[in-house]
Structure 1
Amino acid sequence: MSDAGRVMDGAERFEADAVARGLDVEIVEHLEAQNLAELADQLSIQPDDIVKSLVVKRHDGNFLFALIPGSRQVSWPKLRAVVGVNKLRMSDEEMALDATGYQRGVTPIGSTTAWPVVADERIVGRRIAMGAGAAGRIAFIDADALVAAYGAAVTDISAEESPH
């Protein structure tokens, strides 16, 4: 039986898209972590080397990816100014799944829709870790290659995390 009609899972979509875009990624399996610091410790990297791929909903119903260093949070005023709209909001899990096809390991790489990407300027010039399309997987990738592959806008869109 042929599997030509079979739908790829998130990990397969991630890998296929990375290859198609010429991205050199190193995928690492990791244990579940309780927080970003624990994950960074597991991977022997700094929290800011982990990039969060946030799925942001625009007022018109479309989405975008905001790539933010791990220890920072999105600055809504800065992101709204870059995108040129007055209203943006973080998507919930169901919206993110509908928008990207990813339940866990959300990333622009392999997203079922190629939404625009806005990358915080702090990620450029470094090797970063980000979701790899499935739980328990992280991808190491050159941030500059990622930005180039997706034509990402690079600017200041983050702020320091507020203390909890």
Structure 2
Amino acid sequence: METTEGERRALEALQASGIPHVVARHGRVSSLAEAAAARGIDPSQVVKTIVVRRGDDDYLFVLVPGDRTIAWPRLRELLGVNRLSMPDAATARDVTGYERGTITPFGSLHPWPVIADARVHGLVSIGAGAHGVSATLEGAELVRVLGATVADVTDPAPDA
């Protein structure tokens, strides 16, 4: 499997962070359940990085456990805004340097603020800049090194 520019950027940023982590390369998957199985973890340990738009050229990352979904009213309240949205795939790529399904705060083109759901703890796995590439690490270290704001900003996913 050839290393992509996104994977290189993400892994260099992870390395520079000093967080102990293990990189896994398992190839493309088509669902959260497949990703969790390929990584040998529970779906709740897969941390999705969601790009959220606050305004013109104003984005943030929200770290969401795999079995959960963003609770938009709570996130808006936390941020003190009336409106948030998710950018389309092309915009998300433009503001992060990553395609959907590969987005990570590590090595993003812009150092957007990070909000981590309060359930991001223990051993977790986060995308590493390319399809089928992830990093497994301690959630508390992930939150610390990203300077993430920790808050209860998710609800159980409807299919979880």
TM-score, scaled to structure 2: 0.91
Structure 2 gap ranges (5+)? none
> How far did 1:115 drift?
0.2
Any conservation in 1 of the 2:23–2:136 contact (CA below 8 Å)?
yes
> 1:120 maps to which residue?
117
> 1:14 maps to which residue?
10
* C-alpha distance in structure 1 between counterparts of 2:66 and 2:7, whole Å: 22
Residue deviations 1:53-101, cap 9 Å, x none?
0000112431000000001100100111111111111122111111111
SS at match of 1:88: coil
Moved more, 44-53 or 97-106: 97-106
Q: Does 1:88 align with 2:100?
A: no
> How far did 1:22 drift?
1.3
Structure 1 gap ranges (5+)? 1-7
* C-alpha distance in structure 1 between counterparts of 2:38 and 2:146, whole Å: 29
> 1:5 maps to which residue?
none
> 2:144 maps to which residue?
148
Any conservation in 1 of the 2:61–2:114 contact (CA below 8 Å)?
yes
* C-alpha distance in structure 2 between counterparts of 1:95 and 1:25, whole Å: 29
1:15-164 counterparts in 2 under 5 A?
15-103=11-99, 104-124=101-121, 126-163=122-159
* C-alpha distance in structure 2 between counterparts of 1:59 and 1:162, whole Å: 28
> How far did 1:19 drift?
2.1
RMSD across aligned positions (CA): 1.6
Any conservation in 1 of the 2:29–2:132 contact (CA below 8 Å)?
no
TM-score, scaled to structure 1: 0.89
> How far did 1:40 drift?
1.1
Q: Which residue identity lines up with residue 111 of structure 2 in the other structure?
A: A
Larger radius of gyration: 1
> How far did 1:163 drift?
4.3
